[in-house]
Copies of this chain bind each other. A is one copy, B any other.
Amino acid sequence: MTDFTPTERSRVKRLHKRAHYDHDTVHRLIDEIGTGSVGYVIDGHPHVTPTLVWREGDKVYWHGSSASRMLRQVKTGIPVSLNVFHLDGLVLARSGFHSSVNYRSATLFGTAEVVEGSDEQEASLKAFLERFVPGHWDTLRPVNSQEIKATTIVAMTIEEASAKIRTGHCEDDEEDYELDIWAGIIPVHTVIGEPEDDPRLKAGVARPDHLKTIKFG
């Protein structure tokens, strides 16, 4: 199990017992959570764009939106911080101070670049859809060259990364455990709902079974 080497920018400073730097943990969180926030700098000012995110090896990918405008101008790539985060619960203690949250979070640093080449773009589009709806790509009308041209996928090799995970109940002051105050966890889940058919679905088209395998959060 190899580790990302933390530097000043990626080392977790607070509550470092929650910190992880190993590739396996960082990769697992990216794969599980599926959504992310891309941070970048324009004219010295911070910008944050939400996105869906997926991974292949030590590279993360997302569908380009705001960032892609910049990237098309800066062909050499731009420095990016990408955070994936899932809130897993409210941890209610017997005091406000010791109340906390359970969560999984990974922060990645690297240089974002637009995926170039129509074969690479098509492969990325397929990987994107297959991550979120496994088995779906091959059931669709094939993508055409204009569509590939109109799509921007951004890739980033993870140069540095750190993960933070909190689980379990609160840690109250010892004397507070004697108080008549409720404490516990309020779990928070991302739930994939029942599919809703398109109102213009062609008669006789059945809902595919693979929709049941969708999972993230």
A contact residues vs B (CB 8 Å cutoff): 9, 13-14, 35, 37-42, 44-50, 52, 65-66, 69, 79-83, 85, 87, 89-90, 92-97, 99, 101, 103, 105, 107, 109, 125-126, 129, 132-133, 136-137, 139-143, 147, 150-151, 169-170, 172, 176-202, 204-208, 211, 214, 217
When the two chains form their complex, are residues B186 and A214 in contact, meaning their CB atoms are under 8 A apart?
yes
Please pick, from B97, B177, B205, the residue contacting A150 in the complex, using a CB distance under 8 A.
B97
Q: A37-B37, A46-B80, A129-B99 are in contact. Are A184 and B207 (CB under 8 A)?
A: yes
Please pick, from B40, B85, B190, the residue contacting A188 in the complex, using a CB distance under 8 A.
B190
Q: A39-B47, A46-B41, A190-B190 are in contact. Are A151 and B202 (CB under 8 A)?
A: no
A111 nearest CB across to chain B (Å)? 11
- Ordered nearest first, which 4 A-B pairs have the shortest CB separation? A187-B193, A50-B85, A37-B37, A39-B48
When the two chains form their complex, are residues B182 and A208 in contact, meaning their CB atoms are under 8 A apart?
yes
Considering only CB atoms, which chain B residue lies closest to A217 in the complex? B188
Interface core residue of A126, A139, A142 (most chain B CB under 10 Å):
A139
Please pick, from B92, B94, B189, the residue contacting A141 in the complex, using a CB distance under 8 A.
B94
In the bound complex, residues from chain B placing their C-beta under 8 Å from that of A200 are 169, 172, 177, 183
A99 to B143, CA, bound (A): 11
In the bound complex, residues from chain B placing their C-beta under 8 Å from that of A101 are 52
When the two chains form their complex, are residues B48 and A81 in contact, meaning their CB atoms are under 8 A apart?
yes
Can you list 20 contacts pairing A with B, beta carbon distance less than 8 Å? Answer: A9-B42, A39-B46, A41-B41, A45-B81, A45-B109, A46-B80, A47-B107, A93-B140, A94-B141, A172-B200, A177-B202, A180-B204, A181-B202, A181-B205, A182-B206, A185-B195, A185-B196, A186-B211, A187-B192, A187-B195
A143 to B136, CA, bound (A): 53
A158 to B65, CA, bound (A): 23
Please pick, from B97, B107, B193, B198, the residue contacting A183 in the complex, using a CB distance under 8 A.
B198
A214 to B186, CA, bound (A): 9
A73 to B48, CA, bound (A): 23
Q: Supply 15 further A-B pairs (C-beta < 8 A) apart from A37-B37, A95-B142, A178-B202.
A: A39-B48, A41-B44, A44-B79, A48-B48, A97-B147, A179-B202, A180-B202, A183-B200, A183-B201, A184-B201, A185-B195, A185-B196, A186-B195, A186-B211, A188-B217
